[in-house]
Amino acid sequence: MGRVTTEDLWYHYGRTRAARDRSVPACFHWTWSQDGGPGPEILGNLTGRVVGDLGSGTARHAAHLATHHSPARVVAVDASPAQQAMALDLFRHLTPRLRIVPSDAVAHLRSATGTYDVLYSVFGAADFTDPRELLPAAFAALRPGGRLVFSTLAHYLGGAPAQHDAVHADIPAKTPDGEAATMRRWVLQEHVWTKLLGEAGFTEIGTGIPFVDGGSRAASTLLVKAIRDGGTRTG
């Protein structure tokens, strides 16, 4: 099998829901199950703020914020052409408050120094991007006082423990034509995220597991928050 880019591996994701549900979500959840835990209040007051969703998929979380929380702009960033196409089909009508950007998260952040008041990821770029690249880029893209929040797996699906160092695992995926492939995912222990965020320059770092999902694919959500210090808080 030839080399497949990571963005191609998201071709199938979300298609079933996109075909049956075209609405802007009424709620915003951080948890894996998307039916509990804290909501967008963790992001602070978004009125008039510039917000970035890193690894936004079909941009449902971004659409909720753009519709219900009065930001100046929400930028939904995703590297997958398939996810971008679905996001545009679903939520193009929310332009200009919602902007859908086709880009690798790190590349986008590096081109957006000092642009954002808030950055977040819901099982998005923070899961699928080397944190030693993503976190410093996020720090630089935030304005002083800006906030980074992301939810990620507290352990592997099925229960295997998270990594005690900044290493990835290869997880199953499919190419657009259905061939088996793998993609990288970072599932890290709380102290690893705290260390990496500190090394990137963040302060006021906090972590917590707000909700545990049951079932055969047991998942726990790790919620991580940090501040780029040096200015007025964003909420």
The pLDDT of residue 4: 37
In the chain, what are the domains? Answer: 6-15+29-35+45-227 (3.40.50.150)
The pLDDT of residue 189: 95
For the stretch 102-157, pLDDT in tens is: 999 999 999 999 999 999 999 999 999 999 999 999 999 999 999 999 999 999 98
The pLDDT of residue 216: 42
Q: Which residues of the chain have pLDDT under 70?
A: 1-22, 209-218, 231-235
Q: Could you write out the DSSP letters of every residue in the chain?
A: -----GGGGGSSTTHHHHHH--SPPS----STTSSSS--GGGG---TT-EEEEET-TT-HHHHHHHHHS--SEEEEEES-HHHHHHHHHHHGGGTTTEEEEES-HHHHHHT-TT-EEEEEEESSHHHHS-HHHHHHHHHHHEEEEEEEEEEEESB-TTSPBPBSSS--EEEEEE-TT--EEEEEE--B-HHHHHHHHHHHT-EEEEEEEEEEE-STT-EEEEEEEEE--SS----
The pLDDT of residue 34: 84
Say what the pTM is. 0.90
